[in-house]
């Protein structure tokens, strides 16, 4: 079933659909209100209309999101949620809500930026309640017991994803790089009742010895696009041993906690997430996280595969590369468009990097 078919079916089942822009938001709250978050990262569209509203130096995540709306491909949705991920997404929210006057309700989610303190935790906890208050006006009251159940499901998903990542890191997952991310990304629209059994089945079917002797790398960036980067690495016999993707480990591998209060629980989860450029994490924290991924997997290098014009990511990269180089870890940076494939020159860069670490 395609993503679109799935969302149509969910609507027919009586669930609400919310288009969610990247990247971090309390999806458990949406699930508990019978809302399916349909994340908007890289819709396969040609950008034509959005260029009239946005300058050329805006990243393609933002442009494609706007294009999706302008091409009226969001009619099935009941509204949008804009987390405060970066200036571009924040301003996109303003353009959509304030200037274009979309008929869909727009919600906003502001998460605290590092360095964190007690005030940040209070803010986050209160903001979760404010978000619920806003959503309840459209979608009806939130049942606290249902929220607890959805938090439990969120923890189950994190545990399964952690197992999947661990198996891959240990070379005990018999799948390609492309298959791994295809599976992970189903979580961008599947309701937990469907995603959990799918993950469990995927794990049981694919646990097994990976191909030995492959060069291993860690990928960092926003998301593994264009998809050709994964197939190229597969073709070159390179295993992605771990990732530092915003779409991946930075928000998926959340350590479990057993706090009974749902707001305490969600707050703890947010602050326990790995460091991220969009949360203002320091270079030191981010570098330390990359060191850990490299050490744990025996990776020979880090590829920064970053969306062109993604300011939070690109501002960090020179310093991260410097820190990695000090430890003798090879790096490569690629500035890519989401859906435009890999140019011959990009392929050469990746091949040369593989020759270098081989």
- CB nearer other proteins, residue 297 or residue 331: 331
- CB nearer other proteins, residue 129 or residue 325: 325
| Helix axes 177-184 and 228-235, enclosed angle (nearest 10) | 150
For 109, residues 6+ apart whose C-beta sits below 8 A from its C-beta are 25, 26, 81, 82, 83, 84, 127, 131
- CB nearer other proteins, residue 126 or residue 343: 343
Query: Interface with other proteins by CB under 8 A: which range of 135-143, 214-222, 289-297, 349-357?
Result: 349-357
Distance from the Cα of residue 56 to its chain's centroid: 24
Query: Interface with other proteins by CB under 8 A: which range of 63-71, 102-110, 193-201, 350-358?
Result: 350-358
- CB nearer other proteins, residue 66 or residue 354: 354
CB of 267 to other proteins, least distance (A): 40
DSSP letters along 56-122, please?
TTS-HHHHHHHHHHHTT--TT-SEEEEE--SHHHHHHHHIIIIIS--SS-EEEE----SSP-HHHHH
- CB nearer other proteins, residue 29 or residue 302: 302
Task: Map tokens 């203002």 to a residue.
Answer: 280
Among 15, 121, 125, 349, binds other proteins (CB under 8 A): 349
Q: Please, how many CA atoms are within 13 Å of residue 232, restricted to the half-sphere of its CB?
A: 21
Spatial distance between the Cα atoms of 325 and 314, rounded to a whole number of angstroms: 17
Q: Is 126 in the site for other proteins (CB under 8 A)?
A: no
Q: Is 351 in the site for other proteins (CB under 8 A)?
A: yes
CB of 205 to other proteins, least distance (A): 35
CB of 289 to other proteins, least distance (A): 22
CB of 286 to other proteins, least distance (A): 19
x/- letters, 307..346, toward other proteins (CB under 8 A) = -----------x------x----xx---x-------xxx-
Burial of 348 (0-12, 13-18, 19+ CB in 10 A): exposed
Q: Is 352 in the site for other proteins (CB under 8 A)?
A: yes
Binding residues with other proteins: total (CB under 8 A): 14
- CB nearer other proteins, residue 117 or residue 318: 318
Q: 235 to 274, contacts with other proteins by CB under 8 A?
A: none
- CB nearer other proteins, residue 127 or residue 349: 349
For 288, residues 6+ apart whose C-beta sits below 8 A from its C-beta are 275
CB of 356 to other proteins, least distance (A): 5
| CA separation, residue 163 to residues 87, 170, 255 (Å) | 34, 11, 12
For 284, residues 6+ apart whose C-beta sits below 8 A from its C-beta are 323
CB of 62 to other proteins, least distance (A): 20
Count Cβ atoms below 10 Å from residue 318 Cβ, excluding itself: 11
Rg of the chain on CA atoms, in Å:
20
CB of 63 to other proteins, least distance (A): 17
Please check whether residue 96 is in contact with residue 74, taking contact to mean a CB–CB distance below 8 angstroms.
no
CB of 297 to other proteins, least distance (A): 21
Q: Is 55 in the site for other proteins (CB under 8 A)?
A: no
> Quick one: which of 179, 250, 256, 186 has its CA closest to 218?
250
SS3 state at 209:
coil
- CB nearer other proteins, residue 137 or residue 326: 326
CB of 42 to other proteins, least distance (A): 19
Footprint of other proteins on this chain (CB under 8 A)?
318, 325, 330-331, 335, 343-345, 348-349, 351-352, 355-356
């Amino acid at each position: 079933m395609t993503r679109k078919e799935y969302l149509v079916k969910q609507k027919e089942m009586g669930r609400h659909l919310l288009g969610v822009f990247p990247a971090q938001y309390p999806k458990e709250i949406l699930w508990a209100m019978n809302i399916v978050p349909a994340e908007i990262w890289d819709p396969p569209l040609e950008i034509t209309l959005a260029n009239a509203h946005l300058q050329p130096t805006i990243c393609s995540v933002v442009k494609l999101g706007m294009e999706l709306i302008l091409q009226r491909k969001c009619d099935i949705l009941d509204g949008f949620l804009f987390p405060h991920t970066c200036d571009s997404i924040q301003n996109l929210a303003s353009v959509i809500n304030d200037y274009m006057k979309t008929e869909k309700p727009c919600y906003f989610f502001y998460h605290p930026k590092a360095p964190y303190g007690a005030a940040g935790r209070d803010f986050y906890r209160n903001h979760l309640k404010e978000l619920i208050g806003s959503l309840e006006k459209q979608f009806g009251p939130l049942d606290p017991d249902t929220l607890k159940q959805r938090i439990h499901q969120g923890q189950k998903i994190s545990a399964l994803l952690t197992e999947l990542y661990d198996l891959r890191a240990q070379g005990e997952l018999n799948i390609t790089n492309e298959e791994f991310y295809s599976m992970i990304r189903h979580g961008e629209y599947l309701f937990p009742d469907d995603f959990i059994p799918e993950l469990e089945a995927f794990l049981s079917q694919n646990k097994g010895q990976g191909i030995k002797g492959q060069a291993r790398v860690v990928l960092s960036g926003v998301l593994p696009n264009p998809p050709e980067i994964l197939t190229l690495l597969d073709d070159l016999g390179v295993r992605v041993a771990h990732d530092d993707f915003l779409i991946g480990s930075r928000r998926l591998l959340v350590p479990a906690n057993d706090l009974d209060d749902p707001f305490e629980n969600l707050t703890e989860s947010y602050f326990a997430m790995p460091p991220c450029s969009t949360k203002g994490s320091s270079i030191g924290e981010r570098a330390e996280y990359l060191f850990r991924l490299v050490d744990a997997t025996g990776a020979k290098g880090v590829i920064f595969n970053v969306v062109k014009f993604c300011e939070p990511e690109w501002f960090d990269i020179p310093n991260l590369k410097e820190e990695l180089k000090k430890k003798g870890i090879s790096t490569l940076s690629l500035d890519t468009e989401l859906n435009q494939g890999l140019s011959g020159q990009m392929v050469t860069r990746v091949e040369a990097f593989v020759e270098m670490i081989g």
